[in-house]
Chains A and B, each alone.
Chain A
């Protein structure tokens, strides 16, 4: 029996009694008339289904060492908050922080410059933009000081909190790839938060020092740490542990034992508990692949 002729005579195919006629095997072809009802599902329908084809198995230590990248950024935010609280409560001279920050920045710059990273900008241009930023800060500090005088502190805390949360979410945590840097949005969010916080300070000097410190911390330090972790991951771990120590000390001075305890628990759980949890959750992974997926083009590069 010629198959095509059978299907073209559409009127007859409906009348055929399935019990009488020998059935042809069902085929997954929509454009062919077949002697099966519309809602018929064959046993072979999902035969080509595949599960979890591309799922990787994570190792615990790799995950926890990678989480230090996030932790180091969270550390820098925490250091920043500590510095602000210190200055806001008039506990320390704001110039100290600015000077320490500047010294660290210089050290970092020379290390970055000396260790053979190819420079896109010349040193004079860098110096020029540094001078520009510093003088702009000097000029704007008095204006910034009175910017949010009429606003209540609570709204300022709220604004800066959300800005920092967004900053942590939008930060660039990539390792090694040569993407353009700095990441615009996260830097801007951090600077905006710093500006808002700076406007709560009482003296022009403190505003200036605080802003200078925040620019070094959020503008320059991410560049350095990113370079460092692509240069050597061990160096990155060392830097992270230095940051950890500084943060712990800051936490202790600002909030006492209580704050230190909470903070340490949070960090430790992020580094050690969270990766374990992720690995434990892997067994619920259910990725479905099949021939119905759009084809992936294979690009032959070079």
Chain B
């Protein structure tokens, strides 16, 4: 729990322990550090913080003047996180769920109880203090909209509670009453400002108010009285009334001494932030942006992951039954969710207010001079032409849209038919077409993507006419453009690959021909002949080896000699086809090659299946005969080995067969292992091809581009930096701590989280002892294609939107477009 001070940790961050844990709780686990800041008792350390005036500060005595630690109980009961998150996060981080196995099935979970008790004590101490002392006033201060001139200005912002303010704009040289009127009018504003449409419901209008003044004192009794000496200087906060004893330094001395605090009370917390630009789709967020669909991320978790998650949740629930957070939440605590929204809104709202203020300033002027009239007339004419042009343009757009909608619906019906054929399963045991062939899988993916695009587009388009600051659609935007980009990329690469294949067709054909002749036919035959003739000094049973060898030789001859000979003349055409398919995307040639390999190696698969069956059968028989040999037998009902009295004839025949099969086992095993290795090689080649498919289909190209271009568009959390702590001995001036709020960009590991998940799963499924045991005993090793492909589908909804859903959405969309056109028409006709 103790984030104790060490020089390296100068950021009080929401960053925490992510370097270790890259999956689900990207930035969640670190939030306790916030809690500790507010709850008090732990320390903040700031690299650039300046030691305060008190000369007897212990840190200064130690000579570390550039480094100051604060133990802040004074921050009181202010909470940054909602209740449940906070405590879950705390528990997740601090309980340290260690589990180990007890006996065969039971798992015991230990947790660090003492940590919880420590935490509880600390929290209770803080609550006691905060009840006795006033709250810290917290002000979020935008750094990018401070006016050039330092004339008296008005602060507009949200007042979330009596000690919690978010400043969104600073208006210089404006009357407070007029500003208040404008704010009141903002709700009922009847202006052609399209932005106002989305404003309703985006914030609580009762909280938006004039909350303070800069460089002058008003008689309205506003809560914030600020002075700024220059544009870059830190704002200083003044009280209107005489400072109370509580605000004074001495007022806290006893308290600090009592709790061993090293620093003093800071009644003002100023948190600087740079307003995110909504037009550039920047925003702040506690949670990292999720690039995959929400329902998909849970779908992707396989049983084991899910079980782990579930048990953890249950445990955390149980642990917090006797909750230490039993007191009701106050306004101060609830405002956590508000301020991040308000910060996200600030830029848009600020510009809107500016516009409203400037309009109000221009409005009442009746008398025009000639010059004015000419200017106004030209403007009018100009706007009329503009309106007409835009009307014509939208008319054209509407016709095009109708044609497009028709085409889309036709396409959707056709693709639905194809998809139904692809996904058809006559029985649940028989795999669908798309599960057999990589090409058809790829086709399925592309069709589904194409079915989803119009819906994504309409969603985005609707959003566009709405408020920009609404942050919910950003992931959707990234997903949409990511998939478009990937397809475009795929086609570009594919064209190159396709052209290359077509150009080098002869060479490729001869290579494939060589592979078929030399590797698949002659090579295999030679291997089997080698196996028949005591391979590597292994003394196999001659007769059995000859039998197996001839059997497998026959299969290989049958497939390679007869069927592949029919297939061979078409090889150039097939290669040409593969080359052509490159123009639809590089994924298609790759998928086709994977399928071709599967097709050409069917005989190996058949031999593998046959030898695996024989080997497995023999091992099973040997095991039960071994039990007989020892005079035991397997009791299936109780799943154990019982002793048993066999008859003499059973014993005799059993032992005879046991000896016989033991001596035949090496022969069978050698043949089986040969084919298993061949099969493994083919699987590895196919897996490589399919992982390149996954890379082409799912690479977070757009996200990476955004990360490079503007990392604020991919928020991965927030962090706080201690900028400065100042105490000016001036009368009425408040002691203030300056903190900077910064967005954390989404870590690159989070973008590739799906890949990590997949690799972990592959590792668990294929690199385990279980699989090796299965492989060695000739049992079937299941290849879960659908699991591998879950990555590729993670950008798509689980159930695709139906035809009627699409039709409905397109219809609604067209209606809105038509309404827009009508509006424009009305604009032209009206004078």
Chain B stretch 582-632: residues in CB contact (< 8 A) with chain A: 628-631
Measured between beta carbons, the chain B residues less than 8 angstroms from A149 are 541-542
Partner pick for B630 among A133, A184, A196, CB 8 A cutoff: A184
Bound-state CA distance A137–B543 (Å) is: 19
Q: Pick from B82-90, B217-225, B258-266, B657-665 the stretch touching chain A.
A: B657-665
Q: Pick from A11-19, A64-72, A140-148 the stretch touching chain B.
A: A140-148
Chain A stretch 95-138: residues in CB contact (< 8 A) with chain B: 129, 132-133, 136-137
Partner pick for B646 among A143, A184, A191, A199, CB 8 A cutoff: A184
A151 on interface, CB distance cutoff 8 Å: yes
Measured between beta carbons, the chain A residues less than 8 angstroms from B655 are 187-188, 191-192, 195
Partner pick for B660 among A129, A151, A185, A195, CB 8 A cutoff: A195
Q: Across the interface, do B541 and A150 meet the contact criterion of CB distance under 8 Å?
A: yes
Bound-state CA distance A220–B652 (Å) is: 11
Q: Across the interface, do B656 and A195 meet the contact criterion of CB distance under 8 Å?
A: yes
Q: Give A152's nearest chain B residue, CB to CB.
A: B539
Given the contacts A195-B660, A196-B659, A147 and B541 also touching, CB distance less than 8 Å? yes
Q: Across the interface, do A136 and B631 meet the contact criterion of CB distance under 8 Å?
A: no
Q: Across the interface, do B646 and A150 meet the contact criterion of CB distance under 8 Å?
A: no
> In whole Å, how far is B566's beta carbon from the nearest beta carbon of chain A?
40
Given the contacts A129-B648, A129-B649, A185-B630, A136 and B541 also touching, CB distance less than 8 Å? no
**What sequence of 0s and 1s flags, for each residue 530-544 of chain B, a beta carbon within 8 Å of any chain A beta carbon?**
000010000111110
Q: Give A140's nearest chain B residue, CB to CB.
A: B656
> In whole Å, how far is B534's beta carbon from the nearest beta carbon of chain A?
7
Q: Across the interface, do B542 and A146 meet the contact criterion of CB distance under 8 Å?
A: yes
**What sequence of 0s and 1s flags, for each residue 625-656 of chain B, a beta carbon within 8 Å of any chain A beta carbon?**
00011110000000000000111110111111
> In whole Å, how far is A225's beta carbon from the nearest beta carbon of chain B?
15
> In whole Å, how far is B623's beta carbon from the nearest beta carbon of chain A?
15
Partner pick for B645 among A137, A180, A191, CB 8 A cutoff: A180
Bound-state CA distance A192–B657 (Å) is: 9
Q: Across the interface, do B539 and A187 meet the contact criterion of CB distance under 8 Å?
A: no
Bound-state CA distance A258–B451 (Å) is: 96
Most-contacted residue by chain A among B542, B647, B649 (CB, 10 A): B649
Measured between beta carbons, the chain B residues less than 8 angstroms from A223 are 648
Q: Across the interface, do B659 and A195 meet the contact criterion of CB distance under 8 Å?
A: yes
Q: Across the interface, do A187 and B656 meet the contact criterion of CB distance under 8 Å?
A: no
Measured between beta carbons, the chain B residues less than 8 angstroms from A129 are 647-649
Given the contacts A129-B647, A147-B541, A185-B631, A191 and B656 also touching, CB distance less than 8 Å? yes
> In whole Å, how far is A130's beta carbon from the nearest beta carbon of chain B?
8
Measured between beta carbons, the chain B residues less than 8 angstroms from A185 are 629-631
Partner pick for B663 among A133, A148, A191, CB 8 A cutoff: A148
Mostly, the A contact residues are: helix
Bound-state CA distance A188–B644 (Å) is: 14
A219 on interface, CB distance cutoff 8 Å: yes
A215 on interface, CB distance cutoff 8 Å: yes
Q: Across the interface, do A191 and B652 meet the contact criterion of CB distance under 8 Å?
A: yes
Chain B stretch 799-819: residues in CB contact (< 8 A) with chain A: none
Q: Across the interface, do A150 and B539 meet the contact criterion of CB distance under 8 Å?
A: yes
Measured between beta carbons, the chain B residues less than 8 angstroms from A219 are 648, 651-652
Given the contacts A129-B648, A188-B651, A219-B648, A147 and B542 also touching, CB distance less than 8 Å? no
Q: How many A-B residue pairs have CB under 8 A?
A: 80
Partner pick for A150 among B534, B630, B658, CB 8 A cutoff: B534
Measured between beta carbons, the chain B residues less than 8 angstroms from A133 are 649, 652-653
Q: Across the interface, do B649 and A132 meet the contact criterion of CB distance under 8 Å?
A: yes
Q: Across the interface, do A192 and B658 meet the contact criterion of CB distance under 8 Å?
A: yes
A182 on interface, CB distance cutoff 8 Å: yes
Bound-state CA distance A129–B649 (Å) is: 6
Q: Across the interface, do A143 and B660 meet the contact criterion of CB distance under 8 Å?
A: yes
Bound-state CA distance A148–B544 (Å) is: 12
Count class of interface residues, chain A: 20 to 34
Chain B stretch 497-539: residues in CB contact (< 8 A) with chain A: 534, 539
Partner pick for A184 among B541, B631, B659, B663, CB 8 A cutoff: B631
Number of B residues near A (Cβ < 8 Å) is 26
Bound-state CA distance A150–B664 (Å) is: 11
Bound-state CA distance A255–B656 (Å) is: 30
Measured between beta carbons, the chain B residues less than 8 angstroms from A180 are 645
Bound-state CA distance A132–B542 (Å) is: 28
Chain A stretch 191-217: residues in CB contact (< 8 A) with chain B: 191-192, 195-196, 199, 211, 215
Given the contacts A129-B649, A184-B630, A188-B651, A147 and B539 also touching, CB distance less than 8 Å? no
Q: Across the interface, do A188 and B629 meet the contact criterion of CB distance under 8 Å?
A: yes
> In whole Å, how far is B433's beta carbon from the nearest beta carbon of chain A?
46
Q: Give A145's nearest chain B residue, CB to CB.
A: B543
Q: Across the interface, do B651 and A191 meet the contact criterion of CB distance under 8 Å?
A: yes
Measured between beta carbons, the chain A residues less than 8 angstroms from B652 are 133, 187, 191, 215, 219
Q: Give A146's nearest chain B residue, CB to CB.
A: B543
Bound-state CA distance A140–B660 (Å) is: 9
Most-contacted residue by chain A among B539, B629, B648 (CB, 10 A): B648
Bound-state CA distance A129–B658 (Å) is: 19
> In whole Å, how far is A35's beta carbon from the nearest beta carbon of chain B?
44
Bound-state CA distance A223–B663 (Å) is: 30
Measured between beta carbons, the chain A residues less than 8 angstroms from B664 are 147
Q: Give B545's nearest chain A residue, CB to CB.
A: A150
Bound-state CA distance A127–B753 (Å) is: 73
**What sequence of 0s and 1s flags, for each residue 155-195 of chain A, a beta carbon within 8 Å of any chain B beta carbon?**
00000000000000000000000001010110110011001
Bound-state CA distance A196–B663 (Å) is: 9
Q: Across the interface, do A147 and B629 meet the contact criterion of CB distance under 8 Å?
A: no
Measured between beta carbons, the chain B residues less than 8 angstroms from A195 are 655-656, 659-660
> In whole Å, how far is B542's beta carbon from the nearest beta carbon of chain A?
6
Measured between beta carbons, the chain A residues less than 8 angstroms from B631 are 184-185, 188
> In whole Å, how far is A112's beta carbon from the nearest beta carbon of chain B?
14
Most-contacted residue by chain B among A146, A184, A187, A223 (CB, 10 A): A184
Most-contacted residue by chain A among B542, B630, B647, B659 (CB, 10 A): B659
Bound-state CA distance A266–B651 (Å) is: 32
Bound-state CA distance A143–B653 (Å) is: 14
Q: Give B630's nearest chain A residue, CB to CB.
A: A185
Measured between beta carbons, the chain B residues less than 8 angstroms from A143 are 543, 660
> In whole Å, how far is B622's beta carbon from the nearest beta carbon of chain A?
13
Q: Across the interface, do A182 and B656 meet the contact criterion of CB distance under 8 Å?
A: no
Bound-state CA distance A215–B534 (Å) is: 33
Partner pick for B539 among A132, A136, A151, A192, CB 8 A cutoff: A151
Bound-state CA distance A279–B286 (Å) is: 91
Q: Give A131's nearest chain B residue, CB to CB.
A: B649
Measured between beta carbons, the chain A residues less than 8 angstroms from B648 are 129, 182, 187, 219-220, 223
Q: Across the interface, do A187 and B651 meet the contact criterion of CB distance under 8 Å?
A: yes
Q: Across the interface, do B541 and A146 meet the contact criterion of CB distance under 8 Å?
A: yes
Bound-state CA distance A73–B434 (Å) is: 69
Measured between beta carbons, the chain A residues less than 8 angstroms from B534 are 150
Q: Across the interface, do B663 and A147 meet the contact criterion of CB distance under 8 Å?
A: yes
Bound-state CA distance A140–B543 (Å) is: 14
Q: Across the interface, do A150 and B651 meet the contact criterion of CB distance under 8 Å?
A: no
Bound-state CA distance A199–B542 (Å) is: 14
Bound-state CA distance A191–B54 (Å) is: 98
Bound-state CA distance A149–B664 (Å) is: 12
> In whole Å, how far is B258's beta carbon from the nearest beta carbon of chain A?
44
Measured between beta carbons, the chain A residues less than 8 angstroms from B540 are 150
Q: Give A199's nearest chain B residue, CB to CB.
A: B663
What are 14 A-to-B residue pairs whose CB atoms are below 8 Å? Answer: A129-B647, A140-B660, A151-B663, A182-B651, A185-B630, A187-B655, A188-B631, A188-B654, A191-B655, A192-B655, A195-B656, A195-B660, A219-B652, A223-B648
Nearest first, the 3 closest Cβ-Cβ pairs linking A and B are: A184-B631, A150-B539, A129-B649
Chain B residues near A (Cβ < 8 Å): 534, 539-543, 628-631, 645-649, 651-656, 658-660, 663-664
Known: A133-B649, A136-B653, A196-B659. 14 other contacts (CB 8 A): A129-B647, A137-B656, A140-B656, A144-B656, A144-B660, A147-B660, A149-B541, A150-B539, A182-B648, A184-B631, A188-B628, A188-B651, A191-B651, A192-B629
Chain A residues near B (Cβ < 8 Å): 129, 132-133, 136-137, 140, 143-144, 146-151, 180, 182, 184-185, 187-188, 191-192, 195-196, 199, 211, 215, 219-220, 223
